[in-house]
Amino acid sequence: MAKPRSLYVCNECGAESAQYFGKCPFCASWNSLIEQVIAPTAANSAKIGVGAAARATKRTKTSDRNEPHPLAALTLPEISDHAQARLSSGYGELDRVLGGGIVPGSLVLIGGDPGIGKSTLLLQVANQLASHYRVLYVCAEESGQQVKLRAQRLGIRGQRLAGGESAAKHLASQSLTPSTLYLLPEIDLETILAELEALRPPVAVIDSIQALYFASLNSAPGSVSQVRECTSALMQLAKREHITLFIVGHVTKEGAIAGPKVLEHMVDTVLYFEGDRYASHRLLRSVKNRFGATNELGVFQMVDQGLEQVQNPSELFLGSRDEENPGTATIVACEGTRPLVVELQALVSPTSYPSPRRTATGIEYNRLLQILAVLEKRVGIPLSKLDAYVASSGGLNVAEPAADLGVAIAVAASFRDRVVDSGVVLIGEVGLGGQVRPVSQMELRLKEAAKLGFKRAIVPASQANYPGVGLEVIPVGRVVDAIAIALVSTKKNE
């Protein structure tokens, strides 16, 4: 009988090696290798070997006899249409991120920082879905009492089963359990799988995958092999029984979903729940979606009674437009197919350091440096002795180049202590030569600005032809022209 052997698995990248290394030879992260003892599963490996060998011989035999191999492959028309209506989660913002509702039988992975509201969101969604379907919420991280406390805070009461029976009794007496929310505080994978099979809920939530434990593996919950095995077992059951699974995943300190990358490959949809710890808004973003567009954005707000949807997020990021502040410019960013009107603020002031300070909050630091260089060289604004601070309102991350023109105008306005026309939005990428370059989804952006009452939009010269969007479109070729148009007045109290 073969001896058990040790394998070292990297917790960051999932690479395996026979030897321990302080630094993973594949992803170069330190102290990430975890020992995993492999018990000899001779039966299994033999089975795989035999299977492959048998298939190989079968093929040879058929080809020997010159008989056609019975094809299992199908043409597209041969595959039956399985057009199943999407389920609504009860939250339009989540449905939007999923590409128009929940696809029955799909696997959705939701990652996010601790305390951002993943459990809150999924408990609320589970509760909404439970009014039509049986929903199983596996709370592997918290006890039933803790979840109940949260539910009470969210105003979720649940349904008492008829005659005060327990769920188990009810299940025994009825062939079909009623649509309600069931909680399962459990970490053992086998128990969870058995419960899923017995209850056959159309929707289930696993909170979280890192807390599950598969006893046959000799590693701790949350380790690469545990996460991989638990997900693949859950996935097989979910696909077989047509269960929609929402899986909560932790994130590493770099912000990626913890565990092997294969986790993200296995599931159908990957969502990130993010937000500023100090601000109440939360953004749900899709980074992978087999059933819809990626980079879609849903906006929620954390209030005392849990998460609320924000129907018109532009208003959230616009700030107040009544005061006239020098150094404030408005842009229209686009997240997936969702346009967001966002206010940018800039402040430039003489530096007291040998080299000036630059900080960028909500916009990309390197793009800021590039725009400052363009303003200095192409527009003639001497910024090399000035500190520059640029921030987006509400801390929203606008990484796209379409924000460039807004950043340039905000900095120029702060430098000249002038006010940007409050009825103007700025849309455009700034090239190194000081030219204003075209951006994507212009019509969508213009319509959103018009909807919020903006009167004029300064856009790249090649994108001027948008009649009927509801505002005046002003094409500009160079940043310097945009500055001349956008800065309208000197500060009132001068």
Q: Which of 325, 339, 457 is nearest to 391 (CA)?
A: 325
Interface residue list for Mg ion (CB under 5 A):
119
Q: Does 222 bind ligand TYD (CB under 6 A)?
A: no
Q: Of 124 and 244, which has the nearer Cβ to ligand TYD?
A: 124
Read off the DSSP letter of residue 204.
E
- Judged by CB under 6 A, which of 120, 127, 128, 231 binds ligand TYD? 120
CA distance 484 to 478: 10
The first and second tokens of residue 493, run together, are 């109290």
Q: Does 62 bind ligand TYD (CB under 6 A)?
A: no
Q: Of 34 and 154, which has the nearer Cβ to ligand TYD?
A: 154
Q: Does 473 bind ligand TYD (CB under 6 A)?
A: no
Cis peptide before 32 (omega within 30 of 0): no
The first and second tokens of residue 380, run together, are 């003639």
Q: Which stretch binds ligand TYD (CB under 6 A): 47-55, 109-117, 446-454, 478-486?
A: 109-117
Instruction: Bin 4: left if φ > 0, else alpha if -120 < ψ < 50, else beta.
Output: beta
Q: Residue 298: which of Mg ion, ligand TYD, none does it interact with, CB under 5 to 8 A by kind? A: none
Binding residues among 296-355 for ligand TYD as defined by CB under 6 A: 302, 304-306
Instruction: State the minimum distance, in angstroms, from the CB of residue 201 to Mg ion.
Output: 20
CA distance 332 to 343: 9
Chain position whose Cβ is nearest to Mg ion: 119
Asked whether the beta carbons of 183 and 146 are under 8 A apart, the reply is no
Beta partners for residue 424, in sequence order: 456
Asked whether the beta carbons of 320 and 393 are under 8 A apart, the reply is no
Q: Does 275 bind ligand TYD (CB under 6 A)?
A: no
Measured over the CA atoms of residue 478, residue 481, residue 483 and residue 486, the dihedral's sign is negative
User: Which residues touch 333 (CB under 8 Å, ≥6 apart)?
Assistant: 339, 340, 342, 396, 398, 400, 402, 403
Q: Does 94 bind ligand TYD (CB under 6 A)?
A: no
- Judged by CB under 6 A, which of 14, 111, 117, 327 binds ligand TYD? 117
Beta partners for residue 246, in sequence order: 108, 205
Angle subtended at Cα 116 by Cα 113 and Cα 118, rounded to the nearest 5 degrees? 95
Torsion of CA 244, 250, 255, 261, to 10 degrees: -60
Instruction: State the minimum distance, in angstroms, from the CB of residue 160 to ligand TYD.
Output: 22
Instruction: State the minimum distance, in angstroms, from the CB of residue 123 to Mg ion.
Output: 9
Q: Which stretch binds ligand TYD (CB under 6 A): 114-122, 131-139, 327-335, 393-401?
A: 114-122
Instruction: State the minimum distance, in angstroms, from the CB of residue 308 to ligand TYD.
Output: 10
Q: Does 119 bind ligand TYD (CB under 6 A)?
A: yes
Q: Of 207 and 421, which has the nearer Cβ to ligand TYD?
A: 207
The first and second tokens of residue 245, run together, are 């699974």
Q: Residue 112: which of Mg ion, ligand TYD, none does it interact with, CB under 5 to 8 A by kind? A: ligand TYD
Q: What is the Cα Rg of the chain in Å?
A: 28
Q: Does 157 bind ligand TYD (CB under 6 A)?
A: no
- Judged by CB under 6 A, which of 112, 275, 327, 394 binds ligand TYD? 112
Provide the binding-site residues for ligand TYD, judged by CB under 6 A: 112, 114-120, 150, 153-154, 302, 304-306
